[in-house]
Amino acid sequence: MTTAYSHLCATFTRLSHYNHLSAIAGWDMATMMPSAGSQARSEALAELSVLSHQVLTAKQVGEWLKQAGNEALNDVELANLREMRRQYQQSALLPESLVQEKSLAGARCEHAWRVQRRANDWEGFSENLREVVRLSRQEASLRADATGSSRYDALLDMYEPGMTSKKLDVLFGDLKTWLPELLQKVVEKQKAESCIIPAGPFDIEKQRQLGLKVMERLGFNFDAGRLDVSSHPFCGGVPQDVRITTRYNEDEFLSSMMGVIHETGHARYEQNLPKKWLGQPVSNARSMGIHESQSLLFEMQLGCSEPFLRSIYPLVNAQFGERKGLDESNFIKLNQRVQPGLIRVDADEISYPAHVILRYEIEKALIEGEIEVEDIPALWSHKMQEYLGIDTVGDYRNGCMQDIHWTDGGFGYFPTYTLGAMYAAQLFQCANHAIPTLQDDIARGDLTALFQWLQQNIWQHGSRFSTDQLINNATGETLNPAYFRQHLENRYL
Amino acid sequence: MTTAYSHLCATFTRLSHYNHLSAIAGWDMATMMPSAGSQARSEALAELSVLSHQVLTAKQVGEWLKQAGNEALNDVELANLREMRRQYQQSALLPESLVQEKSLAGARCEHAWRVQRRANDWEGFSENLREVVRLSRQEASLRADATGSSRYDALLDMYEPGMTSKKLDVLFGDLKTWLPELLQKVVEKQKAESCIIPAGPFDIEKQRQLGLKVMERLGFNFDAGRLDVSSHPFCGGVPQDVRITTRYNEDEFLSSMMGVIHETGHARYEQNLPKKWLGQPVSNARSMGIHESQSLLFEMQLGCSEPFLRSIYPLVNAQFGERKGLDESNFIKLNQRVQPGLIRVDADEISYPAHVILRYEIEKALIEGEIEVEDIPALWSHKMQEYLGIDTVGDYRNGCMQDIHWTDGGFGYFPTYTLGAMYAAQLFQCANHAIPTLQDDIARGDLTALFQWLQQNIWQHGSRFSTDQLINNATGETLNPAYFRQHLENRYL
């Protein structure tokens, strides 16, 4: 007899095929597509997205989901069913008219933002943003009504299942008590140390070669993925064929190199998701926070650590030779420099959480209706001053207009960056205990044991467990921010 | 009131979006995809192809097609309706089981062929091919029954609407009366002339630069397309974003260069299809023969002509400098060399039709049930001897196993190559009359008037007219093979 569950599996396999095409066409759009292809591509992708939405939210799927609850399923199947139900509910909840309205308003706001940001045009931008916020609040209300959560929590849950603003307030509240002081101390400390910025140019082909060598060292499977160029680095494609990107700048090579290391962390997670469940929701990465934990474990825990930097120094040297500021000791300093700045994506790992907390507090208040769009700039300036000691009054371009997230209504996403940093610290600390030789292994360039540990504890599980279970199974406790603080103090004080 | 015709337009727009994604994912598969992505990609593409088939052959589409026949439509709309009907009938005619069986048998035969060809394993190959032929005959019967044509004509019509084996027998019969003799004469004549093969290596990046420069000269729109590398050159993508490929070999550069010129001919046709009808069947290229006429007009009529070769000689010289065999006069000779050989894709323009006629005669007899798969090798050897004077007995690899077309049941396709060559000669001859300065223009590297003529007479019409009408409108007569003969005699005797 064909079970409801097997019908569901077939439907989600079909959806994964559509997702495959959409992922590759999306990657192509960002890396390969010539400019005139843009409109036709957007239309084709929108068509597929409408189709996927229809297939996922078909009445029949709802019925199968009910029936499957009464069928005999094993643990993995139950986890798969839970993830299917989650996807179905998240999609079926919203009327198509709202989905469409929000998508249009988001596209309009993002499109105009590209020009308005350059022009520092807050007036023009805020007009579009108001509409995006209005629709995001509607979306949040509908989601909140269905789950009984607060509006903001309903959005947060889409990216980080199980996370709530109550938990975040505790985590971030704690961070705020010690982070600004730590930052100040580290900046003071580093002022006393000399650090030389090596002068360019750094040949782009050599930067690419360095990136490829580092990816190789990090175990990227080149039979199942590629490295290309895009204006914003990302990890895309599908688990069988992971496409990461970086961007190059002749003046310096560290950001392309660190970008590659970061995306390789995402990539290895994707490449090692459970093969036998691929196509089913249970095979997907657990959450955005866990995804970010892998990229930040690669970039920050491992990539910016002294033994790792020493171990890749010969690769850097082979590409760029001896030049002032490129001796081993200065190379390490360059990668551990702390300097509060205006821009989130350029931030060091101590300043970064401040950028995130600021955004979290503003977007939460915005979605909950406690503030309005016009309140953002003043709040932004105030919090930048408080958390990072930086004056940003009037500089919208490098202030509240710097990110793309809000332009298309991605409220609730920002916290996952800092959750990722915290998970990364906790996981790495635990791997360190589990593998007594780890620091020596890293120094020798042998990462086998570390990757086995990640494979064993994170990658192979996909979405089988809840985030709390996954982290508890891996480390013996749920998220504990103490490891993050400890990591920062150990590295920087 | 919403008309049946407007419902049809919406359906075909939707299909064109699916086709867009399939074209880009297919291009990616041939140019970018790492090996491990293959299975997931094939599955995703197969899913989309099933979906497209379902959407196209839905009962409702059949009803709209009937109703639309009674609606008030203008000329373009009527042409669009004709092309819609054609696509619908071609797809709806076959039971899904046959489509699937044939697709599987074809995939199996092609997959095994890649190994069997290298091993010269005719026995193994013919076993798979028998199954492909059996299913192709079934397909041909069903199509023939529906249209009242012969079996082979029913397949031919899919690639070249309106063409019949009766017409082909006349065209090819005529060719056979003069081509072998012409070939012999030209070979004799060229024996007396010295032609030096320039020695490599030819740096691949320089070949690529040369290709790009030549594409620029040929008016390729780089805002709406790209040049990449694949193991078999092709022109893919969509009209808004045309992706052409070539392949490079360090030992010589002419085949990559001529490959680029050929594909650019296809590309310019695609890039200049009627913009306002894009997404509708009437905007598609007219037929495979007309498509090939554009690539061969670029490659053979224009590309291998003395004034054109002279005009691009400085580009060649700029990349590869002075070396033996790369003076202007030898460069021209190299591109006009005639030498009968075993392999169709390497053939010069005089030998090429012989390769096609041989295949046409064999595949027609095969589909009509006059011969069986085991008769192919003897017929092949006999005809190679007769048409090209070459002994191929026992060499299956470079004989009847050299092409991919039959492996997946593409019977009826081969004739379009030579039809394309004939159309190209006729069109170019006509353009020559219409543009009195054309030869001088070409020598000066100014192709504006030629491209305007092609745009006016071919590109902008898409599938609005039948092939006969299109050619008649452009040249004042339907296909006349005399121009092809005249072209060959003028150039080579």
What does the block give as tokens for B379? Answer: 């017929």
Q: Per-residue pLDDT tens for A372-416?
A: 999 999 999 999 999 999 999 999 999 999 999 999 899 999 999
What does the block give as tokens for A312? Answer: 């890749």
Nearest by CB to residue A240, choosing from B18, B32, B36, is B36
The pLDDT score that the predictor gives to residue A232 is 87
Q: Which amino acid is at A413?
A: Y
Q: Which amino acid is at B52?
A: S
The three-class DSSP label of residue B245 is: strand
Q: What is the distance in angstroms between the Cα of A209 and the nearest Cα belonging to chain B? A: 17
The three-class DSSP label of residue B189 is: helix
Query: Same domain for A240 and A385?
Result: yes
Q: How many CB atoms lie under 10 A from the CB of residue A97?
A: 8
Q: How many domains does chain A have?
A: 2
Cβ atoms A182, A489 nearer than 8 A:
yes
The CA-atom distances, in angstroms, between B19 and each of A64, A248, B51, B87, B473 are 31, 34, 11, 14, 30
Query: Same domain for A77 and A20?
Result: yes
Cβ atoms B312, B260 nearer than 8 A:
no
3-state secondary structure A448-476: HHHHHHHHHHCHHHCCCCCHHHHHHHHHC
Query: Same domain for B135 and B32?
Result: no
Q: Are B34 and A224 in contact (CB < 8 Å)? A: yes
The pLDDT score that the predictor gives to residue A438 is 98
The three-class DSSP label of residue B399 is: coil
Query: Same domain for B37 and B167?
Result: no
The pLDDT score that the predictor gives to residue B219 is 98
Domain-located, residue A98: no
Domain-located, residue A99: no
Domain-located, residue B98: no
**Rg of chain B over CA atoms, in angstroms?**
23
| Cβ contacts of B243 within 8 Å, gap of 6 or more | B24, B27, B31, B225, B226, B228, B235, B236, B237
CA distance B17 to B166: 37
The pLDDT score that the predictor gives to residue A99 is 87
Residue of A nearest to B241 (CA): A37
Query: Same domain for A313 and A430?
Result: yes
CA distance B177 to B161: 26
Q: Chain B contacts of A221, Cβ < 8 Å?
A: 36
- Select from A62, A92, A122 the last residue of a domain: A92
The pLDDT score that the predictor gives to residue A447 is 98
Nearest by CB to residue B21, choosing from A33, A36, A44, is A44
CA distance B480 to A6: 60
The pLDDT score that the predictor gives to residue A114 is 87
Run means of pLDDT, 10 residues per run, chain B, 493 residues: 94 98 95 93 91 95 97 97 96 89 89 93 97 97 94 97 97 96 96 93 97 98 97 94 96 96 98 97 98 98 98 97 92 96 94 97 98 97 95 94 93 97 98 97 97 98 98 98 98 96
CA distance B268 to B264: 6
Q: Chain A contacts of B44, Cβ < 8 Å?
A: 17-18, 20-21
Query: Same domain for B411 and B280?
Result: yes
B interface toward A at CB cutoff 8 Å? 14, 17-18, 20-22, 24-25, 28, 32-37, 39-41, 43-45, 47-48, 51, 221-226, 237-238, 240-241, 278
Which of A263, A270, A349, A361 does the annotation list as catalytic?
A: A263
- Select from B57, B92, B127 the last residue of a domain: B92
Query: Same domain for B379 and B273?
Result: yes
What does the block give as tokens for B370? Answer: 């006059």
Bridge pairing between strands B235-238 and B241-246: antiparallel
What does the block give as tokens for A476? Answer: 């013996």
Q: Are B36 and A278 in contact (CB < 8 Å)? A: no
The three-class DSSP label of residue B284 is: coil
Query: Same domain for A69 and A137?
Result: no
Question: String of b and e for B239-270 (b: at least 16 CB within 10 Å)?
Answer: bbbbbbbbebeeebbbbbbbbbbbbbbbbbbb
CA distance A379 to A382: 5
- Chain A and chain B share a number of CB contacts under 8 A equal to 98
Query: What is the DSSP track for A405-417?
Result: GGGGT-TT-THHH
CA distance A338 to A488: 11
Query: Same domain for B434 and B463?
Result: yes
Both ends of chain A: CA-CA distance in Å?
64
Q: What is the distance in angstroms between the Cα of A248 and the nearest Cα belonging to chain B? A: 20
Domain-located, residue B99: no
Cβ atoms A268, A310 nearer than 8 A:
no
Cβ atoms A61, A88 nearer than 8 A:
yes
The CATH number of the domain holding residue A338 is 1.10.1370.30
Nearest by CB to residue A40, choosing from B14, B221, B238, is B238
The pLDDT score that the predictor gives to residue A294 is 98
CA distance A222 to B76: 49
Q: Name the residue among A83, A80, A13, A91 with its Cα closest to residue A58.
A: A91
Annotated catalytic residue A83: no
Cβ atoms B124, B134 nearer than 8 A:
no
- Which residues in A299-402 belong to E strands, given as ranges? none
Around B275, how many Cα atoms within 13 Å sit in the side-chain half-sphere? Answer: 10
Domain-located, residue B394: yes
Domain-located, residue A97: no
CA distance B163 to B143: 15
**Residue tagged 């150990």 (tokens):** A490
Q: What is the distance in angstroms between the Cα of B385 and the nearest Cα belonging to chain A? A: 45
Q: Are A238 and B24 in contact (CB < 8 Å)? A: no
Nearest by CB to residue B40, choosing from A20, A34, A221, is A20
Q: Which residues of chain A, if any, have pLDDT below 50? A: none
Torsion of CA A85, A87, A89, A92, to 10 degrees: -130
Domain-located, residue A410: yes
CA distance B23 to A45: 13
- Select from A36, A63, A92 the last residue of a domain: A92
A interface toward B at CB cutoff 8 Å? 14, 17-18, 20-22, 24-25, 28, 32-37, 39-41, 43-45, 47-48, 51, 221-226, 238, 240-241, 278
Q: Are A226 and B25 in contact (CB < 8 Å)? A: no
Cβ atoms B267, B225 nearer than 8 A:
yes
Q: Chain A contacts of B32, Cβ < 8 Å?
A: 32, 226
Query: What is the DSSP track for A264-297?
Result: HHHHHHHHTS-GGGTTSGGGS-S-HHHHHHHHHI
Q: Per-residue pLDDT tens for B283-321?
A: 999 999 999 999 999 999 999 999 999 999 999 999 999
Q: Are B241 and A37 in contact (CB < 8 Å)? A: yes
Interface with chain B: mutation pick from A12, A33, A223, highest number of B CBs within 10 Å = A33
CA distance A161 to A167: 12
Query: Same domain for A278 and A148?
Result: yes
Please confirm whether the linkage preceding B281 is cis (ω < 30° from 0): no
Q: What is the distance in angstroms between the Cα of A28 and the nearest Cα belonging to chain B? A: 8
Torsion of CA A435, A437, A440, A445, to 10 degrees: -50
**Residue tagged 């090798």 (tokens):** B377
Q: Chain A contacts of B227, Cβ < 8 Å?
A: none
ipTM score here? 0.94
Q: Which amino acid is at A371?
A: I
Q: Which H or E run contains B80?
A: helix B75-92
Query: Same domain for B110 and B4?
Result: no
Torsion of CA A365, A369, A373, A377, to 10 degrees: -30
Nearest by CB to residue A34, choosing from B20, B45, B241, is B241
Q: Is A148 left (phi over 0), alpha (psi -120 to 50) or beta?
A: left
Question: What residues are paired with A303 via a beta bridge?
Answer: none
Query: Same domain for B45 and B123?
Result: no
**Residue tagged 């009054």 (tokens):** A393
Q: What is the distance in angstroms between the Cα of B402 and the nearest Cα belonging to chain A? A: 29
Domain-located, residue B361: yes
The pLDDT score that the predictor gives to residue B7 is 98
Q: Are B17 and A241 in contact (CB < 8 Å)? A: no
Q: Which H or E run contains B373?
A: none
Q: Chain A contacts of B40, Cβ < 8 Å?
A: 20, 238, 240-241, 278
Q: Percentages helix, strand, coil for chain B, rounded to the nearest 5?
A: 70, 5, 25
- Domain range holding A216? 105-493
The pLDDT score that the predictor gives to residue A104 is 86
